[in-house]
Chains A and B, each alone.
Chain A
Amino acid sequence: MKPAKIVRAFYNDDDVLLSAVKTIKENKYHIEEVYTPFHVHGLDKVLGLKPTRIAIASFIYGCIGFAVSILMMNYTMIADWPQNIGGKPSFSYIENMPAFVPIMFELTVFFAAHLMVITFYLRSKMWPFKTAENPDPRTTDDHFLIEISVSEVTGKLKNILKNSGAVEINIIDSKEH
């Protein structure tokens, strides 16, 4: 059965939010999503989210950048148009390697950083001209929002939310959402 109602509880402090998430979890309610204006330390652990794998992706991208830089410079500086580097016309990649290290470093960082950001956007389903998903613009300013989906709103849930420090509670039919 699909949950019929969505409860949105607003908070205005990140520490209050963290403890609220804990109490809601303890009372076995299902938290759909939490919207915050900034990264809240430890929220992923409390919500029980799986650890991110973006670090592994970043390492792989770095390795790709490293390899690309070597191939690129070997082609441009050694193979296609042999260059006399620093007065040492050895025309060998390995003997000129110290001169290439800064570029190897830069391209490693460039690939790792850019591809990681792109991966992050794709994984978060974000792209240009996409309409915002956050249900209330205040979550981009000074409010934190917990979204809970339930089949029907009970007084118990409202009490839990109030006691956990919610400053505002809205109830919405999940159809209109």
Chain B
Amino acid sequence: MYKISNGIKIFSFTLILLGSIGWGYSYMDSHKTIEQVKEMLMHESSHGSSHADQSEHMEQINEDHHNDLNESSHDDEHAEHVMHQIHNRPYAALYIAAFFFMMISLGVLAFYAIQYASQSGWSPVLFRVMQAITYYLLPGALIVLAIAFFADKHLFIWMDPDVVAHDKLLQGKAGWLNKSAFLIRGLIFIGGWSLYRYFSRKFSLAQDLANDNKNFKRNFQISAGFLVFYIYTESMMSWDWVMSVDPHWFSTLFGWYVFASMVVSGITTIALMTIYLKSKGYMKFVNDSHLHDLAKYMFGFSVFWAYLWFSQFMLIWYANIPEEVTYFVTRIEDYTIPFFTMFALNFIFPFLVLMNSDYKRIPWFIVMAGMIILVGHYMDVYTMIMPATVGDRWDFGLPEISALALFTGLFIILVFYSLSKAPLLAKGNPFIKESENFHY
């Protein structure tokens, strides 16, 4: 049995506390009035920062177009736009962090179900770690949904009736993109995932004490069923919870793209937790070969992610249709550094670092590569959400860091709490002996 250490408790509660305070402060701080924003914009343009240059340039173009508009009304419009972006930032920061940790948990759940459905022999020693990580899914996903409704039009512009009233495209999509459907779908997704997680955990614990394999067989059946449910709901979830922040834009492989992100960060988290527990003297039954396999999956799914990311990018870049290409134009022009850094961290780094077979067995190497992958996928979610909500007013500061701290704390405490509830070895699993003796 694992006993949650005081160090972890103190660490995670401190993170939660500091995170809430930091986020609360930045939330209060974001309530700028239009006068303050105007003053700020004036200040910026007098300093002649590159951003101000750009916006001045834009303004000139706009003025040429609308020379009938007088200058002050245009300035008001711009200031109001900037004010909204400043208001949106704390919501977006909170949503990104919440979604990122929910995504890890959901990715692990899918990976776990695949292990059962494929009756794989190498992985049962890791089942309790996977179950612990998926414990976060129910609270985590409910929090994401709650933030979505709490943020409302600050994140999802289609939730604003005024905007929809002036937007033909959004009116056309209103059958899918409306608040009640969004809520119902969200609850169905979360309900289905959580039911599977609940029963799978129950059968896994019951199997430890059983004399026959009935519980294992049931787990196999529900896992296969869950995977079908998952691949549909995951795809729809990604349209709802991520893609709809840019409601005009759509990409047909977005679900797969988010899935790749999800599963690679999930596997990385399994590897990091396993290495941590092993270093603390738990899980002696996990050997080099298990780590090697996890690292292979990290490598493989990083390449898979890059493949999907690039497939999406290349088609849109090649076709160059204005309403599609705007998605990447915003990201490349306003988010140059995070956008390209994210690609390097998620593909080039893991590709080169984890390529060598021997390195996949060295724990500190996996930890290093895993950290890079997690940072990269956080940035991936960041570049999915931020451009649609705060535009070029992005930064990585107090709201983002404290939101990240808040959810890191919550994730750690819940996961380790769940880990301490059951033995670390699923000893009743019929494949457990094969898994313990697994070697490559």
Contact = CB atoms under 8 A, between A and B. Distances in A.
Interface of A: 55, 59, 86-88, 98-99, 101-102
A-B complex: 7 closest residue pairs judged by Cβ atoms? A86-B318, A98-B314, A98-B317, A101-B310, A87-B320, A99-B318, A86-B320
A121 to B, nearest CB: 22
Contacts of B355: 59
B49 interface: no
Contacts of B356: 55
- Count class of interface residues, chain B: 10 to 19
Contacts of A101: 310, 314
B320 A99 contact: no
B357 interface: yes
Given A55-B357, A59-B355, A98 B320 contact: no
Nearest to B315: A98
Interface of B: 310, 313-314, 317-320, 355-357
Contacts of B310: 98, 101
A55 B320 CA distance: 40
A102 B317 CA distance: 14
19 contacts: A55-B356, A55-B357, A59-B355, A86-B317, A86-B318, A86-B319, A86-B320, A87-B320, A88-B320, A98-B310, A98-B313, A98-B314, A98-B317, A98-B318, A99-B314, A99-B318, A101-B310, A101-B314, A102-B314
A55 B356 CA distance: 8
Contacts of A87: 320
A88 B319 CA distance: 10
Given A86-B319, A86-B320, A98-B317, 5 more contacts: A55-B356, A98-B313, A98-B314, A101-B310, A102-B314
B359 to A, nearest CB: 12
Contacts of B314: 98-99, 101-102
B437 to A, nearest CB: 13
A67 B320 CA distance: 28
A108 to B, nearest CB: 12
Contacts of A102: 314
Contacts of A59: 355
Contacts of B317: 86, 98
Nearest to B352: A59
Nearest to A86: B318
A30 B249 CA distance: 69
Contacts of B357: 55
A99 B320 CA distance: 12
A87 B310 CA distance: 20
Contacts of B319: 86
A53 B15 CA distance: 47
A102 B357 CA distance: 26
A63 B317 CA distance: 26
Nearest to B317: A98
B305 to A, nearest CB: 15
